[in-house]
C-alpha cells in the first residue's frame, strides 16, 4: 500500500569528487580515476563515499527546478524483532535517525589553503551555520554526526591540536547541543602511515597519534554529557592495497589489520576513560575493519574491554546494496515492494542483529545513503526500506550528506546549506516514516 503525495520534482546533475572504489564494496574513500588492483574475490560489503576533492569539486548547487509531480512514500510490513532491555539499546533507540555534516570539518590535505579555518568549506562550499543545524533538527533528525579530520591541524611530536581548529569544532558541537541533539564526534581522514594505519608495522606510531588526539578531545569536552558520543576511528583500513575495501578472512595481512584495529580501539577507549569529567561513562562507538558490516562480523573483531558498563556501540557504515547506493555504473532502480531489493538490506542487518543486538550490544550505522541518479522515487523507496529494517532491529542510521548535487560525482546532498532548503523533501519524509 502506498501513500500518494503531491511533491516537487527535483532534477540535478551533480559532481562531488568522492570515492570510486572496486567491484561490489561499499563505504569508502578512494581517489577518483585511481586504478586499484582487483581482488580475486569480492564479497559485497559496505564502505563510504569519501575522498579528497579539489576546490572545484563541490560547486554551489543549481536552483531547484520546480515542476509538479507525484512521488509515493511506500508502506512497509515490518517484521517484529525482540530487542533486549538495557540502557545502551534504549539510548540508541532514542537517537532515532541521524544526519552527517559530511565533507566539512573532515576535509583534509587542502594544500591550496592559507587559513586552516577555510578547510570547513573547502569541500562542501559552505560554512556551517546555526540555522542549518536548527533546520536539520526541525525536520526530524535527532542525531548529528560531525566527522573531523585532525592531522592537518596538529604540530609537534605529541600532535598538539591547533586551538583555532579545536575552538571551531567546539563551536559547531555547541550549535547541536543548543538544539538538544545527540552528537557523534570522531577522527576521520587520518588514515595514513604518517598518522593512523592498522598494521603491526605502524601500530606503535598509530597508537601514539590516536591516543594523543583523543586525550585532547576528551579533555576539551570533558563536561559535555552523554548526548556527546565519541567514535574512535573512521573506516580504519589498509589504504592503497588490494584489501582496502574488502576483508579476506584468510589473508594474513587482513588478520593483522583486524588485530591492530582491536588494539587501537582498546587504546582509545582507555584514553577516553582516563580523562576527567563525563568521559568516565560516555558512550563510545567502535568500528571493525573499514567500518563495514563484514569488519564487525569478522571472527577476529572484538569489542574493547571497558571500565564503564554497557557504554560501547558498534559503528558500521553500509552503502548497501552497493550497485544501487554507491556504484555510478550500477542500477538506478530500487523498489521497496520487491523482496530481492529489500533482502539486499536485511541480510547484513540480520547478521548484525544476531551477533550484537540480540546479545545486548547496540549498533549505529553512522553512514548510509543512495547517490542521486535522477531516480528520486527509487531513493525514496530505498530510504523507507532501509530505515524501517534498521529500526525494527534496534539500529539507528545516519544519512551521509555531503552538500553535493551537481556533476557526475557522489551526490548525497539532501539540504542546500546556503539556501537551507531541502532539495529532496520526499526522501526526508521517507527517512522519517519509520524512524521512531
What are the CA-CA distances from residue 35 to residues 19, 32, 42, 238, 371 (Å)?
Answer: 12, 9, 16, 16, 22
* Predicted pLDDT of residue 68: 54
208-215: long-range contacts at Cβ-Cβ below 8 A with a sequence spacing of 24 or more? 208/159, 209/151, 209/159, 210/264, 210/267, 210/268, 210/271, 211/267, 211/268, 211/271, 212/158, 212/159, 213/150, 213/154, 213/159, 213/161, 213/187, 214/187, 214/268, 214/271, 214/272, 215/271, 215/274, 215/275
* Predicted pLDDT of residue 327: 97
Active-site annotation holds for 367: yes
* Predicted pLDDT of residue 70: 81
* Predicted pLDDT of residue 22: 34
**Residue 390: is it exposed, middle or buried by C-beta count within 10 angstroms (0-12/13-18/19+)?**
buried
Instruction: List beta partners, residue 398.
Output: 98
Q: Which residues of 71-97 are buried (b: 16+ CB within 10 A; e: fewer)?
A: bbbbebeeeebebeeeebbebbeebbb
Give the cell for residue 214. 583523543
* Predicted pLDDT of residue 171: 98
Active-site annotation holds for 227: no
* Predicted pLDDT of residue 80: 86
CA distance 152 to 105: 11
* Predicted pLDDT of residue 268: 99
pLDDT in tens, the chain (436 residues): 443 333 333 333 333 333 333 333 333 333 333 333 333 333 344 444 554 454 444 444 444 444 555 899 999 988 889 999 999 999 999 999 999 999 999 999 999 999 999 999 999 999 999 999 999 999 999 999 999 999 999 999 999 999 999 999 999 999 999 999 999 999 999 999 999 999 999 999 999 999 999 999 999 999 999 999 999 999 999 999 999 999 999 999 999 999 999 999 999 999 999 999 999 999 999 999 999 999 999 999 999 999 999 999 999 999 999 999 999 999 999 999 999 999 999 999 999 999 999 999 999 999 999 999 999 999 999 999 999 999 999 999 999 999 999 998 999 999 999 999 999 999 999 999 999 9
* Predicted pLDDT of residue 79: 86
- Which is catalytic among the residues 231, 235, 410, 426? 235
- Which is catalytic among the residues 10, 188, 189, 227? 188
CA distance 436 to 106: 29
Domain annotation for the chain: domains and CATH numbers: 2-433 (3.20.20.80)
CA distance 370 to 71: 17
Give the cell for residue 254. 587482513
CA distance 51 to 244: 14
* Predicted pLDDT of residue 15: 34
* Predicted pLDDT of residue 149: 98
Q: Which residues of 341-369 are buried (b: 16+ CB within 10 A; e: fewer)?
A: bbebbbebbeebbebbbeeebbbbbbbbb
Q: How many residues does the chain have?
A: 436
Rg (CA), the chain: 20
CB-based contacts of 171, cutoff 8 Å, min separation 6:
none
Could you give phi then psi for residue 79, rounded to 5 degrees?
-75, 145
* Predicted pLDDT of residue 49: 54
* Predicted pLDDT of residue 350: 98
- Which is catalytic among the residues 50, 179, 244, 367? 367
Give the cell for residue 36. 586499484
What are the CA-CA distances from residue 179 to residues 120, 127, 326, 409 (Å)?
Answer: 21, 18, 31, 32
CA distance 269 to 305: 8
| Residue of 2, 4, 18 lying closest to 372 (CA atoms) | 18
* Predicted pLDDT of residue 17: 34
* Predicted pLDDT of residue 78: 81
Active-site annotation holds for 235: yes
CA distance 201 to 212: 19
Amino acid at each position: 500500500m502506498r501513500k500518494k503525495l503531491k511533491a516537487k520534482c527535483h532534477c540535478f546533475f551533480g559532481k562531488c569528487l568522492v570515492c570510486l572504489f572496486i567491484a561490489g564494496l561499499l563505504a569508502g574513500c578512494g581517489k577518483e580515476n585511481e586504478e586499484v588492483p582487483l581482488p580475486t574475490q569480492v564479497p559485497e560489503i559496505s564502505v563510504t563515499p569519501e575522498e579528497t576533492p579539489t576546490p572545484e569539486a563541490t560547486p554551489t548547487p543549481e536552483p531547484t527546478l520546480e515542476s509538479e509531480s507525484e512521488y509515493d512514500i511506500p508502506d512497509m510490513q515490518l517484521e517484529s524483532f525482540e530487542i533486549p532491555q538495557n540502557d545502551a539499546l534504549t539510548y540508541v533507540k532514542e537517537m532515532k535517525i541521524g544526519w552527517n555534516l559530511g565533507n566539512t570539518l573532515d576535509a583534509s590535505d587542502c594544500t591550496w589553503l592559507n587559513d586552516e579555518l577555510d578547510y570547513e568549506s573547502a569541500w562542501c562550499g559552505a560554512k556551517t551555520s546555526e540555522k542549518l543545524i536548527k533546520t536539520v533538527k526541525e525536520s526530524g533528525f535527532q542525531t548529528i554526526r560531525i566527522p573531523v579530520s585532525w592531522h592537518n591541524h596538529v604540530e609537534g611530536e605529541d600532535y598538539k591540536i591547533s586551538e583555532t581548529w579545536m575552538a571551531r569544532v567546539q563551536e559547531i558541537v555547541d550549535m547541536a547541543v543548543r538544539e538538544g541533539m545527540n552528537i557523534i564526534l570522531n577522527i576521520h581522514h587520518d588514515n595514513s602511515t604518517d598518522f593512523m594505519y592498522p598494521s603491526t608495522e605502524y601500530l606503535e606510531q598509530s597508537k601514539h597519534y590516536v591516543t594523543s588526539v583523543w586525550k585532547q578531545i576528551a579533555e576539551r569536552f570533558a563536561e559535555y554529557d552523554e548526548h556527546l558520543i565519541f567514535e574512535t576511528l573512521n573506516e580504519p583500513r589498509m589504504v592503497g592495497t588490494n584489501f582496502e575495501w574488502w576483508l579476506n578472512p584468510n589473508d594474513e595481512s587482513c588478520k593483522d589489520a583486524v588485530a591492530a584495529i582491536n588494539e587501537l580501539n582498546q587504546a582509545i577507549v582507555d584514553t577516553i576513560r582516563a580523562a576527567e569529567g563525563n568521559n568516565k561513562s560516555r558512550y563510545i562507538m567502535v568500528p571493525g575493519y573499514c567500518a563495514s558490516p563484514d569488519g564487525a562480523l569478522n571472527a577476529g573483531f572484538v569489542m574493547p574491554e571497558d571500565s564503564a558498563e554497557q557504554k560501547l556501540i558498534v559503528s558500521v557504515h553500509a552503502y548497501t546494496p552497493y550497485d544501487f547506493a554507491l556504484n555510478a555504473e550500477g542500477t538506478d532502480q530500487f523498489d521497496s515492494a520487491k523482496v530481492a531489493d529489500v533482502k539486499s538490506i536485511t541480510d547484513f542487518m540480520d547478521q548484525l542483529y544476531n551477533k550484537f543486538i540480540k546479545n545486548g550490544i547496540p549498533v549505529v550505522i553512522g553512514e548510509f545513503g543512495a547517490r542521486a541518479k535522477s531516480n528520486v522515487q527509487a531513493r525514496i523507496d530505498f530510504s523507507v526500506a532501509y530505515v524501517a529494517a534498521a529500526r525494527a532491529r534496534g539500529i539507528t542510521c545516519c544519512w551521509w550528506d555531503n552538500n553535493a548535487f551537481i556533476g557526475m560525482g557522489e551526490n548525497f546532498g539532501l539540504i542546500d546549506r546556503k539556501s537551507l532548503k531541502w532539495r529532496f523533501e520526499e526522501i526526508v519524509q521517507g527517512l522519517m516514516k519509520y524512524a521512531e
